[in-house]
Amino acid sequence: MGRLDNKVAIVTGGAKGLGQAIAEMFASEGARVIAADMGELTYSAKNVFGYHLNVTDVKGVQAFYDDVVAKFGKVDILVNNAGITRDAMTRKMTDDQWNQVIDVNLKGVFNMTRLFGPLMETNGYGSIINISSVVGVYGNIGQANYAATKAGVLGLTMTWAKEFARKGANVRCNAIAPGYIMTDILKTIPQDLLDGFAKLTMLGRLGQPVEIANAALFLASEESSYITAQTINVNGGMRL
Ligand SMILES: NC(=O)c1ccc[n+]([C@@H]2O[C@H](COP(=O)([O-])OP(=O)(O)OC[C@H]3O[C@@H](n4cnc5c(N)ncnc54)[C@H](O)[C@@H]3O)[C@@H](O)[C@H]2O)c1
C-alpha cells in the first residue's frame, strides 16, 4: 500500500531538481505523475509521464488540461513547482528580468491553478502545493523580482485554500518554502556565497531535494488531512 495509491498528480517543472524528487517520490507511493516541463525529463521512473508544457503559455496550459482530463479523468494533486531566477540589484534590474520571473513564478502558478483548482472543487477532492522560497519569507538582496513572486505565492496559497473549499469540497492548498537546496538553480551562485548560506542555517548545511519531496508527500497525502492555508518552511532553520 502506497500513501498515494490511485492518485493522479501533476508536478510542474518536474523534469529535474526539486520537481524530479517530488515526482519520483509520489510515483513510488503509488501515484500516476505527470511531470509537466519546458524541458525533457532528465530521468525515467515508472508511472512518471513527461509532458512538454510552458506554464506561461495560456493556450498550452488549456490544451494540457484538456489532455490530462481526457487521459486521466481527474487530478488529485497539483504541485506548482516550475520556477526561475533572474537576479540583479534593484537599480540594475531590467524590465525583461522582472517580467520573466513574474511570468513563470507567479502567472504560471495562476495559469495552472485557475483550471485545476476548479476541477478539484468539482470532484470534491484535491491537494494543491505551491513551491515558495525562504526568499519569499524574508526577502533577499538582488532578488526583488524573485522575492515578490515567492511572497505572492503565499498570498495565492491562502486565497485558494479559502476559495476552493468554500462550498464544502475537501480541497486543501499549502505552500512549501525551501531554503537553499542543491539543484541546478543554485549553479549561478558562487561557492563562497553558498557556504555563507549554509552557515545561516541552524543545521549548518544546504538541503537535499529529497528533503523537500518528503514535505510535499506529507502535504499531498492524507497525513495532512486537517492542514490547509499553511506554509511549511524546509530550510534547516535558516533566517536570511
Ligand atoms: N533549489 C533551491 O534552492 C530552491 C529554494 C527555494 C525555492 N526553490 C523553488 O523550487 C522550484 C524548483 O526549483 P529547482 O531548484 O528544482 O530548479 P531547477 O532549475 O533545477 O528546475 C526548475 C525546472 O522548472 C522548469 N521550468 C522553468 N520554467 C518553466 C516554464 N515556464 N514552464 C514549465 N517548466 C519550467 C525547468 O525546465 C526545470 O526543469 C522553483 O520554483 C524554485 O524557485 C528552489
Cβ-contact 104, 97 below 8 angstroms: no
* Mean pLDDT on 20-40: 98
Question: Sorting pLDDT into bands at 50, 70 and 90, what band is 98?
Answer: very high
Residue 3 lies in a domain: no
Q: Tally Cβ neighbours within 10 Å of residue 211.
A: 18
What is the distance between the alpha carbons of residues 22 and 37, in angstroms, rounded to a whole number?
13
pTM of the predicted protein model? 0.98
Residue 159 lies in a domain: yes
Mutate which of 86, 183, 193, 206 for ligand 1 pocket (most atoms within 8 A of beta carbon): 183
Rounded to whole angstroms, what are the CA distances from 98 to 103, 114, 154, 160, 186? 9, 23, 19, 25, 19
What is the distance between the alpha carbons of residues 78 and 65, in angstroms, rounded to a whole number?
12
CB of 84 shorter than 6 A to ligand 1 = yes
The boundaries of the domain holding residue 50 are 8-234
Determine the residue type at 134.
V
* pLDDT value at residue 93: 98
Question: Sorting pLDDT into bands at 50, 70 and 90, what band is 239?
Answer: confident
* Mean pLDDT on 211-216: 98
Residue 202 lies in a domain: yes
Q: Output the domain CATH number for residue 126.
A: 3.40.50.720
Residue 119 lies in a domain: yes
Q: Which of 43, 65, 138, 146 is catalytic?
A: 146
Q: Which residues of 6-44 are buried (b: 16+ CB within 10 A; e: fewer)?
A: ebbbbbbbbbbbbbbbbbbbbbbbebbbbbbbbeebeee
Residue 1 lies in a domain: no
Residue 13 lies in a domain: yes
Q: Where are the beta strands (DSSP E) in the chain?
A: 8-12, 32-37, 48-52, 77-80, 125-131, 170-178, 231-234
Q: Which grid cell sits at 122?
A: 468539482
Cβ-contact 33, 44 below 8 angstroms: no
| Percent of the chain residues topping a pLDDT of 90 | 97
What is the distance between the alpha carbons of residues 134 and 131, in angstroms, rounded to a whole number?
10
Residue 71 lies in a domain: yes
CB of 50 shorter than 6 A to ligand 1 = no
* Mean pLDDT on 72-94: 98
DSSP assignment string, 170-219:
EEEEEEEEE-SBSSGGGTTS-HHHHHHHHHTSSSSS-B-HHHHHHHHHHH
Q: Is 146 a known active-site residue?
A: yes
Q: Which grid cell sits at 238?
A: 535558516
Number of domains the chain contains: 1
pLDDT greater than 90 at residue 188: no
pLDDT greater than 90 at residue 187: no
Ligand 1: which atom is nearest the Cα of residue 185? 19
* Mean pLDDT on 92-102: 98
CB of 144 shorter than 6 A to ligand 1 = no
Question: Sorting pLDDT into bands at 50, 70 and 90, what band is 240?
Answer: confident
pLDDT greater than 90 at residue 110: yes
Q: Is the sign of the CA dihedral 25, 235, 160, 13 positive or negative?
A: negative
Residue 2 lies in a domain: no
Bridge partner list, 152: none
What is the distance between the alpha carbons of residues 13 and 224, in angstroms, rounded to a whole number?
23
